[in-house]
Chains A and B, each alone.
Chain A
């Protein structure tokens, strides 16, 4: 059989760090990039006698997730201890939710297809280990050093049903999920910094079969692109393996970004034996109607609805709407610029063109740019009232992206304002024509092709004479009036 005769089946487990001020069970700061072991206390170090107390913000965020992904929120959910032997948690267990998660049975629409989400539960993140010696690889290391700043940081684990079949679909799911999590304000969802981590369970089966094949769990993809590459690689690997008479074994496989392959990790002994039991130090969570109403009220417009509104109200394309909604902060910026009086279509063109290109090129985030919605609206006005041509406006925008300046101030400072005055421009055209009698002659006697060429030359001279600031429409008209 060839690859076309197999169907891939995959489910995704997404861990997302919640953007709370403090950790899940203690008041230590929840922050990325602090000095090692500075955000630790008796609770997150698991010191004897310490007691965890649940962060109310985490429950609120979990309930927002419940609303946004159409989950059932059971009357009660409880925490469990997941026991394992590994030094990334000082307690030797991770506090998580097991058979009683806060969110059950939700879904997400991706390009018109409904992908089921089995559950979403609260749990704590683990510490960060650094392996010393042996090239930094865990099994060759001499010893390891642990930083517990991340231990106890609140996570939601969101587990889809195995209902996706292509790498594209998996990427679409993660992209939509990420957009919604950002829109509802529960996480900064940065795959590159690890605040959103995606594991993919991938299996194959012959087309037409409805039993699931043995799955491999792929880890370590830190961008949407690497998620897609890893899944495609893994599907091919499994097809080749089965075609050559082998069997897929259930294991964890590590995606190696530079080599473009997945490789198996040493198999876990008794890996499923976490001996979960109810956490005796925490009482059940029973979301009240008031808590659920607060969460519902905190949810803004979700990405799909926002795209629809932009397309309908601004007359922009679905692709442009997607670009705005999927780039962090861009849609909010567009809304604020429109609220400041600019037309949605113009705003979209600037944001999805020049502004996005500048962000990609510099790696900066929108929030740190000196450009504000008010300034972009001002720029749009300068174009619509004829002060600036689009080309000049591009220059002005470039300056406003780099410097904290108003577009009007840039125009004044650089003398960029477009000249619309017909008298002034007419004089310029006359002066150019007076110095190009020969060209005019050639234009008048030439065929269409030559006429076009000569006219283009004259227009260029006229623009040059106006130092680029003449209104091109007016100049074109004045030139034609004189030539014909």
Chain B
């Protein structure tokens, strides 16, 4: 069986998550992730044509709440816990990418 995941895949996913990995870490994670995917492949080997995809393990649907206003948090208290705040807003570093 071909490698379930390549080094390039791991590097790509790390980049999307803004993770800086060392060469050794990429090597190690490629092996680990391949193991996880190998486990998933065991399931793929079964005949599951009649089994609907499961999005949620609990047999529940329509867990809903009424459209009723609940109190929000105190702004000063919230912003005091932010790394940086300015002008009643959360201050974040310069944004380099585009809005999605």
Whole-angstrom CA separation of A415 from B87 in the bound complex: 58
Which of the residues B67, B71, B96 comes within 8 Å of A56, measured between beta carbons? Answer: B67
CB contact list, B71-93 vs A, under 8 A: 71-73, 75, 78-79, 86-93
Q: How many residues does chain B have at the interface if contact means C-beta atoms less than 8 Å apart?
A: 41
Asked if B16 and A21 make an inter-chain contact with CB atoms under 8 angstroms apart, the answer reads: no
Q: Is B18 an interface residue (CB 8 A)?
A: yes
Please state if A54 and B63 are interface contacts (CB–CB under 8 Å): yes
A208 within 8 A of B: no
A449 at the interface (CB under 8 A from B): no
Bound CA span A147–B75, Å:
11
Q: Report the Cα distance A42→B14, complex, angstroms.
A: 28
Question: A278 at interface (Cβ–Cβ under 8 A)?
Answer: yes
Q: Is the CB of A284 within 8 A of B100?
A: no
**Closest chain B residue to A269 by CB distance?**
B97
Query: Main SS of the interface on chain B?
Result: loop
Q: Which has the most chain B C-beta neighbours within 10 Å: A37, A42, A53, A273?
A: A37
> Across the interface, do B62 and A285 meet the contact criterion of CB distance under 8 Å?
yes
Looking across the interface, which residue of chain B has its beta carbon closest to that of A83? B16
Q: Bound complex: CA of A37 vs CA of B73, how far in Å?
A: 9
- Chain B residue, CB-CB nearest to A76: B61
B residues 1-39 with Cβ under 8 Å of A?
A: 12-13, 15-18
Flag whether B60 is at the interface (Cβ < 8 A).
yes
Partner of B75, one of A27, A37, A88, A146: A37
A143→B96 CA distance, assembly (Å): 10
A268 at the interface (CB under 8 A from B): yes
Question: Is the pair B64, A40 in contact by a Cβ cutoff of 8 Å?
Answer: no
Interface size class of A (residues with CB under 8 A): 35 or more
Binds B, one of A28-36, A155-163, A372-380: A28-36
In the complex, residue of chain B having the shortest beta-carbon distance to the beta carbon of A87? B92
A409 at the interface (CB under 8 A from B): no
**Contact in complex: B97, A268 (CB < 8 Å):** yes
Q: Are B88 and A143 in contact, CB atoms less than 8 angstroms apart?
A: no
With contacts A84-B100, A265-B98 known, is A284 near B55, CB below 8 A?
yes
CB–CB B72/A270 < 8 A: no
A285 in complex: contacting residue of B61, B67, B93, CB < 8 Å? B61
Give the contacting residue for B69; candidates A27, A58, A146, A266; CB below 8 A: A27
Main secondary structure of the interface of A (DSSP, over half): loop
CB distance from A129 to the nearest CB of B (A): 7
Is A283's beta carbon under 8 Å from chain B? yes
Q: Measured between C-beta atoms, what is the minimum distance from B23 to chain A in Å?
A: 21
Q: Out of B56, B65, B69, B79, name the residue touching A278 (CB < 8 Å).
A: B56
- Assembled-state Cα–Cα distance A142/B96 (Å): 11
A55-B64, A86-B95, A143-B94 given; A37·B88 CB < 8 A: yes
Confirm or deny: A148 has a beta carbon within 8 angstroms of a beta carbon on chain B. yes
B16 contacts which chain A residues (CB < 8 A)? 83, 85, 270, 273, 275
A288 and B65 in contact, given A85-B18, A145-B87 (Cβ under 8 angstroms): no
**Cross-chain contact B64 with A53 (CB below 8 angstroms):** yes
Indicate if the CB atoms of A22 and B15 lie closer than 8 Å.
no
B66 at the interface (CB under 8 A from A): yes
Docked complex Cα distance between A402 and B58 (Å): 60
A177 close to B (CB within 8 Å): no
Using a CB–CB distance below 8 Å, which chain A residues touch chain B?
Answer: 20-22, 26-29, 35-42, 45, 53-59, 76, 78, 82-88, 90, 94, 100, 129-132, 138-139, 141-148, 252, 265-266, 268-271, 273-275, 278, 280, 282-286, 288
- A53-B65, A273-B16, A283-B62 given. 10 additional CB < 8 A pairs? A35-B75, A35-B88, A41-B70, A59-B62, A76-B61, A86-B95, A87-B90, A132-B86, A147-B90, A282-B63
**28 A-B pairs (CB sep. < 8 Å):** A20-B67, A28-B69, A35-B88, A37-B79, A37-B88, A39-B72, A40-B72, A42-B73, A53-B65, A57-B66, A58-B67, A78-B55, A82-B100, A142-B94, A143-B86, A143-B93, A144-B91, A144-B92, A144-B95, A145-B89, A147-B90, A271-B100, A275-B13, A278-B56, A280-B56, A284-B56, A285-B62, A286-B62
Closest 9 CB pairs of A and B: A27-B70, A145-B89, A57-B67, A56-B64, A286-B61, A278-B55, A84-B100, A283-B60, A78-B55
